[in-house]
């Protein structure tokens, strides 16, 4: 038996209420300067356990389910912060990042688990990361 009692099904039990609260918090946080966003999100880092990609996908799906903003192309900041908050509150490791690409120009925010971008339509490897909660990032 695994020493990790939390399974992917735990992510499915994220209530719509918790997801809505995370989206509300994310909408407020999104108006802060990016340096403050990173500091705030990093406060959730202690005592986190590994997250599975399935958990992160399920949480991301719940966030998109409860918020029309987070479903849209322009909702990446609120969606990524909401997903980060929910996974962090579940004490799961997740990395939030924000960056841009030049051609064509696009600013974007996303989350990764185990180095894998979660539910991304953009190739984030082509983005210049300007802010991240990754402890290895500057």
CB atoms within 10 A of CB 129: 16
| Per-residue confidence (pLDDT) for residue 2, from 0 to 100 | 36
| Per-residue confidence (pLDDT) for residue 135, from 0 to 100 | 81
What is the Cα–Cα distance from 132 to 134, expressed in whole angstroms? Answer: 5
| Per-residue confidence (pLDDT) for residue 72, from 0 to 100 | 86
pLDDT at 6 over 50: no
Angle of helix 16-29 relative to helix 76-89, nearest 10 degrees, comes to 120
Q: What is the pTM of this model?
A: 0.85
Among 28, 19, 30, 124, smallest CA distance to 77 is for 30
CB 48 within 8 A of CB 135: no
| Per-residue confidence (pLDDT) for residue 51, from 0 to 100 | 81
| Per-residue confidence (pLDDT) for residue 47, from 0 to 100 | 63
Distances in Å between the Cα of 44 and the Cα atoms of 6, 92, 127 are 18, 9, 25
Q: Which whole number is the average pLDDT over 56-60?
A: 95
| Per-residue confidence (pLDDT) for residue 73, from 0 to 100 | 82
Q: Which whole number is the average pLDDT over 127-134?
A: 95
Least confident of 28-32, 48-52, 96-100: 48-52
Give the rounded percent of residues in the chain with a pLDDT score beyond 70: 88
Which stretches does DSSP call E strand in 37-102? 95-101
Please report which confidence band the pLDDT of residue 138 belongs to, taking 50, 70 and 90 as the band edges.
Answer: low
Q: Tell me the domain boundaries of the chain.
A: 15-132
Give the pLDDT confidence of 35-45 residue by residue, as tens digits: 999 999 998 87
């Amino acid at each position: 038996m695994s020493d990790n009692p939390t399974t992917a099904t735990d992510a499915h039990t994220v209530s719509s209420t918790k997801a809505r609260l995370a989206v509300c918090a994310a909408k407020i946080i999104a108006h802060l300067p990016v340096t403050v966003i990173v500091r705030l999100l990093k406060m959730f880092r202690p005592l986190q356990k590994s997250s599975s990609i399935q958990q992160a996908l399920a949480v991301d799906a719940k966030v998109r389910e409860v918020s029309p903003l987070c479903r849209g192309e322009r909702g990446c900041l609120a969606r990524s912060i909401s997903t980060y908050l929910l996974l962090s509150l579940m004490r799961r490791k997740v990395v939030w990042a924000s960056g841009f690409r030049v051609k064509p120009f696009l600013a974007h925010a996303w989350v990764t688990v185990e180095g894998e971008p979660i539910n991304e339509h953009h190739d984030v490897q082509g983005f210049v990361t300007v802010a991240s909660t990754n402890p290895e990032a500057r």
